[in-house]
C-alpha cells in the first residue's frame, strides 16, 4: 500500500520536533505509548480552560456541555469498533482495568472450581495476572495455547487446550513483545465450539488494525487510548450488551447507582453501572480527537505504512552481524514491532547507548516474562513504529546499533 506522508504527519506531534540528549529525537517506543498530536493536547487543555465541570450531575450549562462531549466520545468509539450500541462501550482507565472488570465481574459470577481458563504463552501480564487471580480465587485451571518456534499461536494444538471444561478464552490481538498478529477468528471458532466466552486484549490491535467487533464476534474487547494517539488514563471495555447487563458492578460509588437506601442499592443501567466515580473527563474528550485523527489517516493505510517500515527494518538489521531477531518472518502476520538482541550485550545496555544517540526504544521483558523465560531470555530490545516514523528512523537505529557493537567490541558489520 506504500508509505504515508509521514513527514507531514510528524509535524503534528510537538514532542517529535525536540531533542533528547542533544540529538534529534527518534521515537521508537510507540508500543508502550504513542506520541500525541497537537490537536489532542489542545483539546485536553481547552477542556479545563473552557468546559471544566463534572458530568451527569450539574444542573447548569457547563455540566451539560461536558456531559455532551463525554457522551459524544462514546458514540465515536462505538462507531470505531462497529459496536451495536454505544452502551456496549465502557470507559475505564486502561486495557488493564478493562480486563480486570471481565475477570472479576464476569469471572466471579461464572467461573467455578475445575473450570478452565485459556490464555497463551505470549500474553502481556495484563492479560495474564487477572486470570491467575481469578483461577486462584475460584479453584479454576489456567491453560496456555502453545507457540510455534517463530512466536505464533500453534493453531494445530488448539484442541489440546480448548475443550469441554473451557469457560473463557482470553487472548491478545497483537503481541507487544514480538509483534505477532493472531488469527482471532480461528481461536473464536474453537471457543464457540465448546460454548466458551471469547475475550480479546486489543491494546496493540486497535491502534494499528481495523477492528469490527460484530464481525469478530468477540464477547469482550479491551483497549487503551494512550496507544492510539490519545491521553493516558483512558481505556475502553467493549462487551456484548446482554453480557454486561448480566454482570454485577465492578466498583461501587457515585454515578453507578440508580437508587440507594440504608440497607442496599440498585445499580444503574449500562454504561453507568461500570463507571463509578468521576472519570478522566478531559482525557475522554481528547480521545475523541485522537479517534478522528486515526479515521482521517485510515487504519488500513496505517497498517500498510507500518508493513513497509517493518520490512525495511528487517532488511537493514539483517545486514548487521550479531543481531538476533525474534518473531515470525511472515510479515502479513505481524505488526511494526521489532524485538532483537545484540550478541553479548544486555538489552538495557543497548537501550542506554541508543538513548545517548537520541533514540528511544524499550528494553526488558516487556511485561511478558513467561515468554522470556520460555526462551531463556533476560529481555530484548524493542523498536516499535507508528504513523510518524519513516525509513530514516530505521537508519538512525542501525547507526546506533553499530555504535553499540563498537563500544562492546562485538562483531562489526560485514
Q: Between 299-317 and 391-407, two packed helices, what is the crossing angle to 10 degrees?
A: 30
CA 315 vs CA 131, 276, 329, 343, 390: distances in Å: 38, 49, 11, 18, 14
Active-site residue, from 50, 207, 367, 368: 367
The answer to whether the beta carbons of residues 173 and 205 sit under 8 Å apart is: yes
d(CA 387, CA 297): 9
The answer to whether the beta carbons of residues 104 and 242 sit under 8 Å apart is: no
CB neighbours (10 Å) of residue 114?
11
* DSSP H or E stretch at residue 284: helix 281-297
The distance of Cα 99 from the centroid of its chain, to the nearest Å, equals 11
CA 54 vs CA 69, 133, 254, 255, 277: distances in Å: 12, 34, 12, 11, 10
Q: Give the residue among 222, 194, 191 at the shortest CA–CA distance from 97.
A: 222
CA angle 175, 180, 182 (to 5 degrees): 95
Show the cell assigned to 138.
475460584
218 is catalytic: no
d(CA 369, CA 121): 10
The answer to whether the beta carbons of residues 112 and 140 sit under 8 Å apart is: yes
The distance of Cα 301 from the centroid of its chain, to the nearest Å, equals 19
CA angle 106, 109, 110 (to 5 degrees): 80
The residues annotated with a catalytic role in the active site are 367
Amino acid at each position: 500500500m506504500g508509505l504515508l506522508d509521514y513527514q507531514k504527519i510528524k509535524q503534528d506531534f510537538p514532542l517529535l520536533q525536540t531533542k533528547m540528549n542533544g540529538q534529534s529525537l527518534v521515537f521508537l517506543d510507540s508500543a508502550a505509548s504513542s506520541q500525541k498530536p497537537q490537536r489532542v493536547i489542545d483539546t485536553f487543555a481547552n477542556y479545563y480552560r473552557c468546559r471544566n465541570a463534572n458530568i451527569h450531575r450539574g444542573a447548569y450549562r457547563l455540566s451539560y456541555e461536558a456531559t455532551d462531549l463525554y457522551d459524544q466520545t462514546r458514540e465515536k468509539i462505538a462507531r470505531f469498533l462497529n459496536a451495536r450500541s454505544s452502551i456496549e462501550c465502557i470507559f475505564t482507565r486502561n486495557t488493564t482495568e478493562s480486563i480486570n472488570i471481565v475477570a472479576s465481574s464476569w469471572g466471579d459470577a461464572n467461573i467455578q472450581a475445575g473450570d478452565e481458563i485459556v490464555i497463551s504463552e505470549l500474553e502481556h501480564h495484563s492479560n495474564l495476572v487477572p486470570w491467575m487471580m481469578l483461577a486462584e480465587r475460584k479453584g479454576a485451571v489456567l491453560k496456555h495455547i502453545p507457540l510455534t518456534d517463530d512466536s505464533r499461536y500453534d493453531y494445530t494444538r488448539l484442541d489440546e487446550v480448548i475443550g469441554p471444561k473451557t469457560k473463557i478464552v482470553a487472548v491478545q490481538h497483537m503481541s507487544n513483545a514480538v509483534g505477532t498478529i493472531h488469527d482471532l477468528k480461528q481461536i473464536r471458532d474453537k471457543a464457540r465450539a465448546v460454548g466458551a466466552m471469547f475475550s480479546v486484549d486489543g491494546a496493540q490491535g486497535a491502534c494499528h488494525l481495523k477492528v469490527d467487533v460484530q464481525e469478530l464476534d468477540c464477547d469482550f474487547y479491551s483497549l487503551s487510548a494512550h496507544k492510539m494517539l490519545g491521553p493516558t488514563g483512558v481505556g475502553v471495555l467493549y462487551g456484548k450488551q446482554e453480557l454486561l447487563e448480566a454482570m454485577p458492578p465492578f466498583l461501587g460509588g457515585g454515578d453507578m447507582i440508580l437508587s440507594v437506601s440504608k440497607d442496599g442499592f440498585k445499580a444503574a443501567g449500562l454504561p453507568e453501572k461500570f463507571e463509578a466515580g468521576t472519570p478522566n473527563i478531559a482525557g475522554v474528550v481528547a480521545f475523541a480527537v485522537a479517534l478522528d485523527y486515526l479515521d482521517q489517516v485510515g487504519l488500513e493505510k496505517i497498517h500498510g505504512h507500518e508493513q513497509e517500515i517493518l520490512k525495511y527494518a528487517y532488511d537493514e538489521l539483517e545486514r548487521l552481524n550479531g543481531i538476533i531477531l525474534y518473531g515470525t518472518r511472515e510479515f502479513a502476520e505481524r505488526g511494526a514491532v521489532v524485538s532483537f538482541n545484540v550478541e553479548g550485550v544486555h538489552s538495557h545496555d543497548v537501550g542506554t547507548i541508543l538513548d545517548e544517540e537520541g533514540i528511544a526504544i524499550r528494553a526488558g521483558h516487556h511485561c511478558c516474562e513467561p515468554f522470556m523465560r520460555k526462551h531463556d531470555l533476560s529481555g530484548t530490545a524493542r523498536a516499535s513504529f507508528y504513523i510518524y516514523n519513516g525509513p530514516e528512523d530505521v537508519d538512525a537505529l542501525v547507526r546506533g546499533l553499530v555504535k553499540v557493537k563498537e563500544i562492546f567490541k562485538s562483531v562489526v558489520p560485514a
